[in-house]
Chain A
Amino acid sequence: MSAVLPVAPPPAPRRRRRLKPWHWMPYVFVAPFFILFLGFGLFPLLFSAYASFFRWEIAAGLSGMKWEGWGNYLFVLQLDGLPWGSVFSTGFWAELYARDFWRAMANTFWLGIAAGVPQHLVAIPLAYFIHTQFRRVRNPVISMYFLPYITNTVAITLVFSSLFSRDFGVINQVLTGLGQWQVMGVHPLAWLFPTENIDWGRPEYTRPIVAFIVWWRFVGWNTVLYLSALQTIPKDLYEAATVDGAGTWQQFRYITLPLLRPMMLFAITLTIIGNLQLFEEPFVLTGGSGGVGQVAETVAMQMYKVGLTDGDFGTASAVAWLMFMVIAALTWLNNRYLGRKD
C-alpha cells in the first residue's frame, strides 16, 4: 500500500538555518564605499546644514557655537534696504550686484552660461560631424579635443594667463598682427581686429577669459559623451529616412536630436552641477582674488574666502547651502524639461 503513496516531500527543515557566511559577505564587500561616503561625504554636508544656523568663529572652536536661526541666511542674502520700487531701473540691479552673495551668484551664472551653453552648441554638431565624416583620423581627432579634460587645471590656467598677458601674450600678438596687417597701404582687417594690445586684465575681459578656459576644458568631454550616444543610434533609422526622402538636415532634426535627448539630459546635468561649483579656473587666473571689482568671484570662491580666510564658518555654511539649493533647483528643472517622457 505504501507504494501507491506519492513520494513524500523532503521534510522541511525544522530549525531555522543559521545564516551562511556568504549571506552577509556581500554587505562587507560593499560596505567600504558607504562607510567612507557617510563619514567624508554625507556627514560634512549635513553638518554644514546644521552649522549654517549658528554664529561660529574659527577661534571659538566647537564650543563657541551660538544659535543664530536664519540670521546667517539673512546676512548672506542682504535683502534689507534695497530700493524695491526701482526694480526696473538699472539702479536696482547695480545695488544688488554690489552685495557680495548676489554678485558672486551673478558671476557664477554668467560664467556658467557663457561657458556651458557653447559647450553643448559646439559639442553636438562636432560629435555629429566626427561620427558621420571622419573615418581614419577619427581617434586622433577625438583625442585632441579630449586632452584638455584630463590635464592639470592649475598648470594649464597658468599657461593661459601668460598667453593672455597684455604686453607679451601670444593671443594679443596674433590679434594685433591681424589688425595691423597691411595691403598696399591700407589695413583691411583693422575694423575687425585690434590694432594695439588689449589689456586682458581689465575687469570686462576677466569673465570671458575664464569662460573660454572652462569651455576649452570641457568641450571635448561633451563631444565624447555625444559621440558615444550617436554610436548607439541604429543605422536603419537613417536608411529608412533616406528612403522616405528626408534630407540631411531633416534627419539631424527629427532622428538625431530626439534620440540624443537622454544624453543631453545627462551632459547638461553634469554641466550645471560642475559650473555652479566653478572654482579652480577663476581662482588660479585671478590669483585667488576674483579679479578687479570681484567680477570673476564665484560662489564657491566666496564660500572659501568667507569660511577659510575670514574664518566665519556659519556664514560660509549658509552660502554653501544656498548654493546647494540653486544647484538642486536647476538640476530638477533640467530633469523636468529634458527628462520628460513623450
Chain B
Amino acid sequence: MSTLASSLPAASVAPAPRQRRKPGRFAPSQWLPHALVLVGALIMLAPFYFMFVFATHTNTDILSVPPPLWFGDALFDNLNELVAQRPMFWRSVGLSLWIATASTVLNLFLCSLGGYGFSMYEFRGRDKLFAALMATMLLPAFVGMIPYVLMMKELGWLNSTRALIIPGACSAFGIFLMRQYIGSAVPRELVEAARMDGCGEFGIYWRVVLPLIGPAMGTLGLVTFIGSYNNFVGALLVMSDMEMFTAPLVLRSLQGTGQTPWGAISAGSAVTVLPLLVLFILYSRRLIEGLTAGAVKG
C-alpha cells in the first residue's frame, strides 16, 4: 500500500502540468492554423490545376457534369483546334517571348548603368534626381494612356514591337534595385583603382562593375521578363493587326460570341503561363526577394 501510495502521485501528477502548459499534439489550436494556411495555399493553386486538366480534355468533356478532375489525353487536339481557329497563335507566343527578351536585355543594360551612376558618383543634384526617380513610381500610368496611343500613332509605332519595348526600356524600380546592389557589392576602391589605371568611365562599368553584379542582374532580369511578358494593356493599346497580337491578346480574342472553345482556351492559357511557371519553379526565391527589395529597404 505504501509503495502504491508513494508511486501513484508521482506517476499521475507529474505529466499533468506539462500537459497544461503545452496543449496536446492534436488540440485544434495546434493544427488548425496550419490546416487553414495549407487549405488557402490549395485554393491559390486550384486555378492552375484546372487550367492544366482542362487543357487535356475536349470541350464536351469539360462541359459535362461532373467536370473532369484528372488529366485526359486531348492536349494535342486542343492545340490543333487552337491553331485552326487562330493560325498566328505560335507566332504570338514567340512575339511575346521576343518582346520580353528584348525588354529584359535593354533594362539590364540601362538600369545597371543608371544604378552605377547613382551609386558610384557624387554629382550635383544627384539626390534630387534620385528622389524624382522614386516618385515616378507613384504616378498612375493609366492616366496618360490616350496621348500615349496618339504618340505611338505619330511615331508610326502602332502594330510594332518597338511600342512595347522602347518606352519600358529602363525602369525606376530597376535603377533602384541596381543602385542598392552596386552600392553594397562593389567596393569604391576598386572603381578608383581602375580609374587610376587609366580605365575610362564606361570601361569601369563594363569591365569592373558588370562582372560583379550577376545576382542582381538575374533578379532584375526575371522581374522584367515576367512583367513584360504579361503586359496586356500595352499590347491592347498598340496592336490592332492580328499578325502582331501577343499571346494574351490572342487568348482574349478567343472568348467571344457563340460556343466558347474552352479546351482550346485552356490549352492556350497553359502554353502562355508555362514559361512563367518554369521560371518561377527555378527561381521563386530570388524573384520574390527581387520584387520586394524596394519595399524593404526603400
Contact = CB atoms under 8 A, between A and B. Distances in A.
A327 B251 contact: no
Contacts of B150: 313
Interface stretch (B40-48, B71-79, B211-219): B40-48
B68 to A, nearest CB: 10
Nearest to B110: A32
A173 B272 CA distance: 27
Nearest to A306: B146
Of the four ranges (under 10, 10 to 19, 20 to 34, 35 or more), the interface on chain B belongs to 35 or more
A33 B276 contact: no
B143 A324 contact: yes
Given A45-B139, A155-B51, A158-B255, A141 B233 contact: no
Interface stretch (B7-15, B19-27, B82-90, B281-289): B281-289
A47 interface: yes
Nearest to B202: A25
B208 interface: no
B146 A155 contact: no
B145 A154 contact: no
B170 interface: yes
A331 B135 CA distance: 13
Interface stretch (A10-18, A144-152, A198-206, A235-243): A144-152
Interface stretch (A74-82, A84-92, A186-194, A271-279): A271-279
Contacts of A160: 47
A124 to B, nearest CB: 14
Nearest to A154: B248
A25 B199 CA distance: 13
A264 to B, nearest CB: 11
A34 B37 contact: no
Nearest to A317: B146
B207 interface: no
A173 B1 CA distance: 66
Most buried by A among B140, B171, B233, B266: B140
A182 interface: no
B237 interface: yes
B147 A47 contact: yes
B144 A44 contact: yes
A8 to B, nearest CB: 28
B63 A168 contact: yes
A303 B54 contact: no
Interface string B184-219: 000000000001000011100100000000000000
Given A36-B167, A40-B151, A51 B65 contact: no
Contacts of B34: 133-134
B201 A316 contact: no
A250 interface: no
A43 interface: yes
Contacts, number: 262
Contact of A40 (B67, B121, B148): B148
A159 B269 contact: yes
Nearest to A285: B255
Interface in A1-54: 21-23, 25-30, 32-34, 36-37, 39-45, 47-48, 51
B125 to A, nearest CB: 9
Contacts of B80: none
Nearest to B254: A158
Contact of B288 (A142, A229, A280): A142
Interface in A130-171: 130, 133-134, 139, 141-148, 150-156, 158-163, 167-170
B221 interface: no
A261 B140 CA distance: 23
A277 B116 CA distance: 33
B295 A263 contact: yes
A300 B142 contact: yes
A300 B272 CA distance: 25
B264 to A, nearest CB: 11
A110 interface: no
A287 B202 CA distance: 50
A232 interface: yes
Given A139-B285, A159-B50, A152 B272 contact: yes
A260 to B, nearest CB: 12
A129 interface: yes
A30 B118 contact: yes
A266 interface: yes
25 contacts: A21-B201, A26-B118, A29-B116, A30-B118, A32-B170, A40-B166, A42-B139, A43-B151, A48-B144, A48-B146, A141-B37, A146-B288, A152-B232, A154-B232, A155-B51, A162-B50, A162-B62, A170-B50, A224-B288, A229-B295, A284-B255, A287-B255, A303-B146, A320-B143, A331-B138
Given A141-B41, A279-B142, A279-B233, 14 more contacts: A22-B121, A27-B123, A29-B205, A30-B118, A44-B146, A51-B147, A147-B48, A151-B273, A152-B272, A158-B255, A158-B265, A159-B269, A280-B232, A320-B142
Interface of B: 33-34, 37-38, 40-41, 43-45, 47-48, 50-51, 54, 62-67, 110-111, 113-114, 116-118, 120-121, 123, 126, 129, 133, 136, 138-151, 166-172, 175, 195, 200-202, 205, 226, 229-230, 232-233, 237, 247-249, 251-252, 254-256, 262, 265-266, 268-270, 272-273, 276-277, 280, 284-285, 287-288, 291-292, 295-296, 298
Interface of A: 21-23, 25-30, 32-34, 36-37, 39-45, 47-48, 51, 122, 126, 129-130, 133-134, 139, 141-148, 150-156, 158-163, 167-170, 173, 216, 219-221, 224-225, 228-229, 232, 263, 266-267, 269, 273, 276-277, 279-280, 284, 287, 300, 303-304, 307-308, 313, 316-317, 320-321, 323-324, 327, 331
Which 3 A-B residue pairings sit nearest by Cβ, starting from the closest?
Answer: A29-B117, A44-B144, A155-B269
